[in-house]
Amino acid sequence: MAKVAVVLSGCGYLDGSEIHEAVLTLLYLEKQGVEWQCVALNEEQKHVVNHITQAVDAKASPRNVLEESARIARGNIVDIATADSDDYDAVIFPGGFGAAKNILDFAFVGNETYKMNEDVLKFARSFYLADKPAGYICIAPMMIPLIYPEGTKATIGTDESTAEILEKKGAKHIPTLATDICVDETVKLVSTPAYMCAKNILEASQGIEKLVQKVVSFI
């Protein structure tokens, strides 16, 4: 049975993984008859956000990305520093601000000088180097130009300012609706905007299901 790594970045869309996107990814992988395991950084989140007020909770105790991600994974998760890409046939990155804050620093930098956590970069790049398929959801495609060759196709939806930064970083942005996917066949790479432009969970689910199906088809 094929096995896919799903890289999470916490729990909650404002400071971690977008929960809908993560759970839908796991659901559609199982519908495809594919085994999955979540993977995450074992370090503190950049901050904790109150998801009612949508403000940073300065009084909150520091939260660990791996421990928070384990809430979504129901414990089926490993530290990315010790994860071996050879154990997996593909990788998928759900979005959420955790991807832009805990994996990337894009949420804080806001321009093309953004960087990526070295442990995550090494793990993600190993799939490209091994010619294994990958899927990137929501804001996670901002990682693509750091991993893949210049001109690789990617989408973050229809946000022109973010797309411009993505292109300055080296990707070829393809405007895409939340219900659809962007595919670069040459590197077995799939991306979808999900909540970058989805109006509801139904729209997000359609793009994520197509992404999972296409990633699995490449295995």
Per-residue pLDDT of the chain (219 residues; tens, 9 = 90+): 899 999 999 999 999 999 999 999 999 999 999 999 999 999 999 998 989 998 888 888 889 999 999 999 999 999 999 999 999 999 999 999 999 999 999 999 999 999 999 999 999 999 999 999 999 999 999 999 999 999 999 999 999 999 999 999 999 999 999 999 999 999 999 999 999 999 999 999 999 999 999 999 999
**Which is it for the CA torsion 73, 34, 182, 173, positive or negative?**
positive
pLDDT for position 58: 84
Question: Distance between CA 112 and CA 84 in Å, rounded?
Answer: 29
Strand partners for 64: 44
Domain ranges of the chain: 3-218
The CATH number of the domain covering residues in 3-218? 3.40.50.880
Would you please indicate which residues are annotated as catalytic (active-site) residues?
Answer: 138
Question: Distance between CA 134 and CA 122 in Å, rounded?
Answer: 14
Question: What residues contact residue 5 under an 8 Å CB cut-off, 6+ apart?
Answer: 36, 37, 38, 39, 83, 85, 87, 88, 90, 91, 92, 123
Element (H, E) at 68: helix 65-73
pLDDT for position 60: 85
pLDDT for position 59: 83
Q: Which two tokens stand for residue 74?
A: 């129901």
| pTM, to two decimals | 0.97
Q: Which two tokens stand for residue 144?
A: 């693509």
Query: Length of the chain, please?
Result: 219
Report CA 62 to chain centroid distance, whole Å. 22
Q: Which two tokens stand for residue 168?
A: 């300055």
